[in-house]
Structure 1
Amino acid sequence: MQLETVKSFILWVLVGISFVLSFALWSYRPNFEELPQNVVEESTSLGGSEKSIKELIEPDSIIFENDNTYYGFSNPADRNSLYQDMHKWSLYEFRTSSANGTPSGKYRVEVIFPEVVPMELADDLFTFNGDINMPGWGFKRLFFTFNQDTKTMNVTFLSDDGNKQAMATVNNSEKYAQLWEYLTTFEGLSKYIRTEGAEGSIYVPGNQQSISSKSIAVEKIDPKLMVDTLFTDPDIVRRNRVNENEIYFTDSARGIMRVYTNRRTVEFQNPLQSSYEQMEPAELIDKSRLNINDHQGWTDEYNLMAVNTNASNNKVRYQMYYEGYPIFGSNYSSVIEQQYRETELHQYNRPLFRLVNYLGGDEATKLISGARVIDKLSSSSSYHMDQVYDIKVGYCLTYKSDADAVMLEPAWFMDYNGSWQKIDFSNLSPQQEGGN
């Protein structure tokens, strides 16, 4: 009898343990970390980098004036190095006033940008002491003038129309001595000549230029990366081949992207935005910069070259550079260009390659002197100097599709009536360069 009681007791204990274990198993909730409800996929990368405002807006000339004689850097790398240093100079006593053209002075340093820079962005380019309320106009030239008694410098940002100016002071004797040495010893400088163009003074190297052509291997950018970047739903994008050298991609809604395989360029247009809303230049530059940063689209060195904002157009263009010289090619092979409508991306054109390895071994090309360039243009019946906005040495790009390489040939170029052209001295016939 006692044995049966013990067996029953053990059975009830086992049943009780079973119930406890079952309840514990049913009620157990593992402590998994919950995933965010809105997971954002990593942005597509073209394999380039992200850029700041100061990395994209750089001068194409720094001119040293000593008693009506002019000098510029013989090596563009020295110009870039000085400008990078200028970023860090402390600017004090900021003030604005009306102006009557360029500041006077026997000794001046003139920094010239390829496009008008909104004063709103000056704070991104230079180091101002204190909080500054920037004016709403833009500048293309800034000047350093010298106070010899105090060893300080005045910095003048001249408005594009020459009627307004913003001034600040550099109270640093070391930087004063640095610029003063250039102005008096001309070390590392070459003589430049000055001529008048459509928007004021143009400076070109006076002597003959000797620059090597370059053969450079390129790395192709997969068009699918652009599809992933530009289309909302890449999975529904259809690919169609028009001919041997042209392929277009479309989702029948968002837009059309055309890829030209023989020159490795892409042209995208989104037709949905039908009307323009004029943007402020600073807003357009920064919006474009952030858009290209988002897919790491700065695949080579690019600098701001042109900004156009009005009631019918919000366009920004960045020019490819190599070793301090601008590169000019045809059909967007050397520029990144974007256009916005209603603050949304409407057009995007760019190269689908990046420069990688210098193949080397090319002999130097001797270009005619800047003095002869000015003389030929001034006496030409094909050109008029009042329509010449700028003149500079650069590279002419030719894409070698059979070798996955580009050839960069040095040449003279000019901005004629708002369009960059290679100067053809054989017949002085304008030939379009640098884009559509």
Structure 2
Amino acid sequence: MKFETVKTVILIVLIATSLLLTFGMWNYQPNYKSLNNSPANATSLNGSEEFIWTLIEPNQAIFHIGNHHYGFSNPHDCSSFFQEIKDWGLNDFTTEDTTVEADSPSDYDMELRFPTPLPMEVMDGIFKLNTSNVDLPTWSFEEVYYSLNEDSQTVSVEFLSIDGRAKATAVIEEKNFYELLQSYIDPVDLMELALFNEGASDIYIPKDKVSLSRQTKTVSPIEPNDLVDVLFQDPSIVRQSTSSNRGITYFTDSSQLRVTQGGALMEFVSPAGDIAEPLFAEDLLNKSIAHINSYSGWTDDYKLMDINVNYNYISYQMHYLSYPVFGQFSTLEQIWGQRLIEYQRPLFRIDNDNFLNENTVELSSGEDIIYYLTSDSNYELENIKDIQLGYQLNYKSSERLAVFDPSWFILYGSDWIAINPYEEEINLQGGD
């Protein structure tokens, strides 16, 4: 009897042990060592928080006075001006199709030009729209035109579609805003612009020579592991490989993050998140901004550069001293589906308080640039889409230095090219 009792107890123990082992096998997960043990939602790159209305700005405000054209001598003044006028209430907002040929830009008193066509659906996230229950159209605009109405002392505002087939109009009714805009239209306080009208569209650039500072700044690295925690759904299963040709690669079965250019550039790809269908522009903006805000990823001064809903592509351009910066280390670029598919960004931030040297560079006048472009047979003028002053960012990885070289740049086809009438041009940055 005692023997039977012992057998029963042993059998019960074996069954219990078997159940425990089976349960453990069902719930077992490989315990890869995490590359960074901090939870993803705690990761921060210590950048700023941005919004649609802080990331979208015109790259130019042009004042037309008779047959002459003027602009701000410093892009920071243009930015401050826009931050002021975007909050002027727009009343009586209406949209309409138009078959009438658009007025010449010089028929308006002032125009704002944005760096990329903007869908009207984001317009009320940038400007103050006083008209309620408005169905915003689906077309895009790139310029906004302002006209002073002397009799009523109001300001007419017009958004023209990029194909010229539709427009939206509104009125700024406050007299003090009329007077303030009128006060800006004064040649004494502005810089005269030269017109280049042989490209894809009319382009206005500073007429006279411009002097900008060439600066060398120190930079602080951004740790790739911080981005691993942000970009991979489960950082604990991420593996790492290193090669002399490809740099460092962090990867899972479905995603990879490559660190190249001596640790200065990051390229993330997650092919499993294929693009299902184009996103609305506002959804694309909100997804992208919220994502970068979630880890304080705006580590330098960035502005919207391009948005293409056909490919769910969006990019932001670095600015330095309020001027646009060009080169492979100057942009944040993303492609979205239901989640992030591709992401490229620099892995350093500029140390604004530390610079090693500075000297002033005098650049060619706008008139000289126009002469150079029109007399050089290497350029097909209809392919010139924009001309800007800005900085070329040259990064020295071994010394962790960023050199900002002032230059003229042209958008030739889909490529930004640094030009100098006396030097060989350099192809800096391709389009998407």
**TM value normalised by structure 2:** 0.85
Task: Show the counterpart of 1:346.
Answer: 341
Question: In the alignment, does 2:137 pair up with 1:141?
Answer: no
Structure 1 residue runs without a partner (length 5+): 1-39
CA distance in 2, matches of 1:318, 1:248: 24
Distance 1:351 1:122, change over 3 A: same
Tell me how far 1:188 sits from its aligned partner: 2.9
CA distance in 2, matches of 1:300, 1:146: 37
Residue pairs, 1:193-232, within 5 angstroms: 193-196=194-197, 198-232=199-233
Q: Which amino acid aligns with 2:80?
A: S
Answer whether contact 1:334 1:434 (CA < 8 A) is retained.
Answer: no
Question: In the alignment, does 2:378 pair up with 1:382?
Answer: yes
Which of 181, 193, 201 is equivalent to 1:179? 181
Distance 1:381 1:104, change over 3 A: closer
Question: In the alignment, does 2:193 pair up with 1:192?
Answer: yes
Deviation per CA, 1:18-41, whole angstroms, max 9, x where unpaired?
xxxxxxxxxxxxxxxxxxxxxx96
Q: Which amino acid aligns with 2:94?
A: R
Equivalent residue of 1:248, what SS? strand
Of the structure 1 ranges 353-362 and 299-308, higher mean CA displacement relative to structure 2 is found in: 353-362
Task: Show the counterpart of 2:121.
Answer: 120
Answer whether contact 2:62 2:70 (CA < 8 A) is retained.
Answer: yes
Task: Show the counterpart of 1:110.
Answer: 111
Distance 1:273 1:186, change over 3 A: same
Answer whether contact 2:407 2:420 (CA < 8 A) is retained.
Answer: no
Q: Which amino acid aligns with 2:343?
A: Y
Distance 1:162 1:43, change over 3 A: farther
CA distance in 2, matches of 1:403, 1:409: 17
Answer whether contact 1:143 1:155 (CA < 8 A) is retained.
Answer: yes
Structure 2 residue runs without a partner (length 5+): 1-38
Task: Show the counterpart of 2:324.
Answer: 326
Question: In the alignment, does 2:416 pair up with 1:420?
Answer: yes
Answer whether contact 2:414 2:431 (CA < 8 A) is retained.
Answer: no
Equivalent residue of 2:312, what SS? strand
Equivalent residue of 2:57, what SS? coil
Equivalent residue of 2:41, what SS? coil
Q: Which amino acid aligns with 1:421?
A: I
Deviation per CA, 1:164-205, whole angstroms, max 9, x where unpaired?
11111111222212221222x324311001123554221110
Distance 1:338 1:294, change over 3 A: same
Runs of 4+ displaced beyond 4 Å: 103-107, 426-430
CA distance in 1, matches of 2:97, 2:287: 31
Question: In the alignment, does 2:313 pair up with 1:315?
Answer: yes
Answer whether contact 2:108 2:145 (CA < 8 A) is retained.
Answer: no
Of the structure 1 ranges 118-127 and 237-246, higher mean CA displacement relative to structure 2 is found in: 237-246
Q: Which amino acid aligns with 1:288?
A: S
Task: Show the counterpart of 2:402.
Answer: 406
Distance 1:102 1:368, change over 3 A: same
Q: Which amino acid aligns with 1:305?
A: M
Q: Which amino acid aligns with 1:237?
A: V
Tell me how far 1:427 sits from its aligned partner: 6.2
Which of 361, 382, 387 is equivalent to 1:365? 361
Tell me how far 1:146 sits from its aligned partner: 1.0
**TM value normalised by structure 1:** 0.85
Tell me how far 1:273 sits from its aligned partner: 3.0
Answer whether contact 2:70 2:193 (CA < 8 A) is retained.
Answer: yes
CA distance in 2, matches of 1:105, 1:388: 21
Which of 158, 161, 165 is equivalent to 1:159? 161
CA distance in 1, matches of 2:245, 2:382: 43
Distance 1:81 1:271, change over 3 A: same
Distance 1:65 1:374, change over 3 A: same
Q: Which amino acid aligns with 2:344?
A: N
Answer whether contact 1:382 1:429 (CA < 8 A) is retained.
Answer: no
Distance 1:218 1:434, change over 3 A: farther
Task: Show the counterpart of 1:58.
Answer: 57
Task: Show the counterpart of 2:14.
Answer: none
Tell me how far 1:290 sits from its aligned partner: 1.5
Distance 1:232 1:105, change over 3 A: closer
Task: Show the counterpart of 1:286.
Answer: 286
Equivalent residue of 1:58, what SS? coil
Tell me how far 1:138 sits from its aligned partner: 1.2
CA distance in 2, matches of 1:199, 1:98: 24
Task: Show the counterpart of 1:101.
Answer: 102
Answer whether contact 1:256 1:270 (CA < 8 A) is retained.
Answer: yes
Task: Show the counterpart of 1:150.
Answer: 152
Deviation per CA, 1:216-257, whole angstroms, max 9, x where unpaired?
12111110001001111111111111128811111223x111
Answer whether contact 2:67 2:106 (CA < 8 A) is retained.
Answer: no
CA distance in 1, matches of 2:40, 2:266: 24
Which of 322, 332, 335 is equivalent to 2:331? 335
Q: Among the aligned pairs, what percent are the same residue? A: 35
Compare CA radii of gyration and give the structure with the larger one: 1
Distance 1:198 1:286, change over 3 A: farther
Task: Show the counterpart of 2:26.
Answer: none
CA distance in 2, matches of 1:279, 1:233: 26
Answer whether contact 1:212 1:365 (CA < 8 A) is retained.
Answer: yes
CA distance in 1, matches of 2:405, 2:425: 19
Answer whether contact 2:267 2:344 (CA < 8 A) is retained.
Answer: yes
Q: Which amino acid aligns with 2:379?
A: Y
